[in-house]
Structure 1
Amino acid sequence: MNTTEALQRFEETANYYLHQLDDFSMEQLKRQPSEDEWSLGQMYLHLIHSALYMQLRNVEQCLAPGEDSVASIAEKTREGTEIFDQGSFPPIRVHVPPSPQYTPVQPESKEQLIQGLNTVIGRMKETLPKLEQVPLQNTVPHPRFGPLNSKEWFLLIEMHYRHHLLQMDRLRAFLECNV
């Protein structure tokens, strides 16, 4: 998938997330299936924060190489190569133990989630034209996938949002069973 197609697909997915907010109360958005599982609202904040403060930040670092971005001769990990070859994450559940560094807080309001998603959409649209100007050898390492260039970081955002649709389905089913 090229970056223009990825942006279009990302916008469709992000707009789906936006429309889904109409179906939930704040109480539902904060309800967790268990103590060590995220609520729907936490999942939304995870998507927003990872795009803004990790993935898009790393795109920017590739655009303006400095200490954090290097012309890499290292290669992606096997897992990273597979994900980009497939164009998606495998449809498996990833469970990270709760921690202050990784676990999102509960959302304050639906407006916070709406604003956050709209901010990510806007940043993605602003970033797309810049991607053509960047040498692909400028990379920033991903903790699991190895060095990624600006286009790969950009594509990763779309794949990440699409991957969390599975979690949304699980959480929706939980909420429907616990009305």
Structure 2
Amino acid sequence: MKINDQAREELWTQVGDLTDEDINRKPSDNEWSIKQVLEHLYLMESGVIKTIQAQLTSGEQKDVADKPIELTVNRSTKVQAPEFATPTEESATLEELKAKLNATHSTLREFAESTSDAQLEEKSYPHPVFGEMNLKQWIPFIGYHELRHIDQIKEVKQKLGL
């Protein structure tokens, strides 16, 4: 959870002084607003937690080598957001999004602390870029994924003059 906690701290630093109007503005029609990035992070974290939990109970055992998930932060490789994690066009407040992100982060922490590494290492789930990943790696992947989108938030802020 170390990378997850570091990423979340950095996320709050990047968005802490923004207004609801700021986060809902898009730099262009084909780019996400900061609100959409935050919503994507909440949807992704929530979806990955549900997937890990489901695989843990019903997935088959597989021995899968660790993947270089730290490469997730490299934004030169474009990845289409999965349907379950695609944000809406609807407006939201920063407080609403913070509450959702805090809730999913707490759920992830509780899950990580109550599940052994051995349990997580014996089952896996495919990632669209890295292929089959053991469930243990999915937890820090969420943190690296968040770091990737923090860079996106910085770009959006710059484009919006924030």
TM range (shorter): 0.7 to 0.9
SS at match of 2:124: strand
CA distance change for structure 1 residues 169 and 125 in 2, over 3 Å: closer, same or farther? same
Within 5 Å, give how 1:21-32 maps onto structure 2: 21-32=15-26
Say which SS state the counterpart of residue 129 (structure 2) adopts.
coil
Percent identity, please.
21
Q: Secondary structure at the match of 2:30?
A: coil
Pairing partner for 2:71 from 88, 97, 107: 88
Report the TM-score, using the length of structure 1 for normalisation: 0.76
Count of residue correspondences: 159
Q: For residue 102 of structure 1, report the CA deviation from its aligned partner.
A: 5.4
Q: Does 1:71 align with 2:55?
A: no
Task: Describe how 1:98-177 pairs up with structure 2 within 5 A.
Answer: 103-105=86-88, 106-129=90-113, 130-134=115-119, 136-176=121-161
| Distance (Å, rounded) in 2 between the aligned partners of 1:138 and 1:10 | 21
User: Structure 1 residue 39 and structure 2 residue 29: aligned?
Assistant: no
CA contact (8 A) 1:70 1:140 kept: no
2:23 touches 2:34 (CA, 8 Å); kept in 1?
yes
Task: Give 1 or 2 for the bigger CA radius of gyration.
Answer: 1
Q: Relative to 1, partners in 2 of residues 1:161 and 1:102: Cα closer, same or farther, differing over 3 Å?
A: closer
Three-state SS of the structure 2 residue aligned to 1:36 is: coil
- RMSD (Å) for aligned C-alpha atoms: 2.6
Structure 2 gap segments, 5+ residues each: none
Bigger Cα displacement from structure 2, 17-26 vs 113-122: 17-26
Distance 1:102 1:10, change over 3 A: closer
Counterpart contact for 1:62–1:134, Cα < 8 Å: no
State the partner residue of 2:2. 8
Q: Deviations over 1:72-96 (max 9, x none)?
A: 36x67xxx83x33xx2322426264
Summarize the Cα distance change of 1:135–1:172 in structure 2 as closer, same or farther, 3 Å threshold: closer
Q: Is the 8 A contact 2:42 2:100 kept in 1?
A: yes
1:115-165 per-residue CA deviation (whole Å, 9 max, x = no partner) reads 112112201210222132505231122233222221111121011011112
Gaps of 5+ in 1: 1-6
- Asked if 2 retains the 8 angstrom alpha-carbon contact of 1:59 and 1:149, the reply is no
User: Structure 2: how far apart are the matches of 1:158 and 1:100?
Assistant: 20
